[in-house]
Amino acid sequence: MRLRASILGGGSWGTTVASLVARNVPTTIWARSAETVLEINTSRSNERYLPGARLPQGLRATHSIEEAVRDADVVVMGVPSQSMRETLREVGKHIRAWVPLISLSKGLELGTKLRMTQVIAEELPGHPAGVLTGPNLAKEIMSGFAAASVIAMEDEVIVRELQGIFKTGLFRVYTNTDVVGCELGGALKNVMAIAAGMGDGLSAGENTRSAVITRALAEVTRLGVAMGGRPETFPGLTGMGDLIATCTSPQSRNRQVGFELGKGRKIADVLAGMRQVAEGVKSASTVLQLGEHYGIEMPIAHEVNGVINQGRTAQDAFRGLLRRTAGSEADPG
């Protein structure tokens, strides 16, 4: 039997993943907006989030979570991290037993500081939980550019079965059983991308950007390993790969937030003009708290949090980083 897939979330990445999956199996996408649902079903497009992109004929949209998940063999959660728990509670009313859930969100839940697979485990125990993550820019993938991603689950049998649902000719999907490391790489790098964007907004130069990305990877790795991730995961696609893409691409929402902050704009004004969530803005304080909890110095996260939540400027942040004493490259800072 062919598996049936459901993707929840009609934003740019949810729609992109739905388009990829629809090439392999019958796929339904759920969106909050009735207008988006109508547009996908009648015009095969989602102009708000993916202007100019043509969606496959096999993709069907619905405004009903029940309709989306009741017959699904795999459910893909493409909603923002702060909406994940609420959406899962609605999913739980209709999903069949043991159906796997795959998160696309690269964020941490405020308050609990939980990863999204942990939220899934709390709300829907008994359902295998995993994450699809990597250096994936939605518009490039929809334009036909090659890309690579990782699907991570603890169960090697299930993850290999699901691998075939997501991969296409130009979208290469690897497997990994290090869910913690893969998920943290995606969540932590968003904060680092804001720092890289601030440097670009300040016209700090490519040498500075390279230094920020390199030190950010060290920072992400230290905390990720302390939280249970495997060291070898972070130099891979879900760590270094995702960090590079998010810190350098104009398509990156988190980098764009940092860029505007570097230009001197206030965070409230930057967010007011955005259509989609920049996960790093909400995660900044949580990442810093996790660093404190695990005894890991997070100098870049500290400075980003100061700009986002404490009224400091991007110039203040970079002065703070430069004031730190440079010791061994293996040391934080």
Q: How many CA atoms lie within 13 A of 119 on its CB side?
A: 29
Q: By the 8 A CB rule, do 332 and 263 touch?
A: no
Is 266 part of the annotated catalytic residue set?
Answer: no
Q: By the 8 A CB rule, do 214 and 328 touch?
A: no
Helix segments in 96-241, DSSP class H: 116-123, 138-142, 156-166, 179-201, 206-226
- Residue 145: Cβ within 10 Å count: 11
* Integer Cα distance of 135 and 288 in angstroms: 23
Helix segments in 81-166, DSSP class H: 81-91, 116-123, 138-142, 156-166
Q: By the 8 A CB rule, do 84 and 106 touch?
A: no
Q: By the 8 A CB rule, do 290 and 280 touch?
A: no
Catalytic-role residue among 189, 263, 266, 282:
189
Q: By the 8 A CB rule, do 224 and 178 touch?
A: no
Question: Any idea which residues carry the catalytic annotation?
Answer: 189
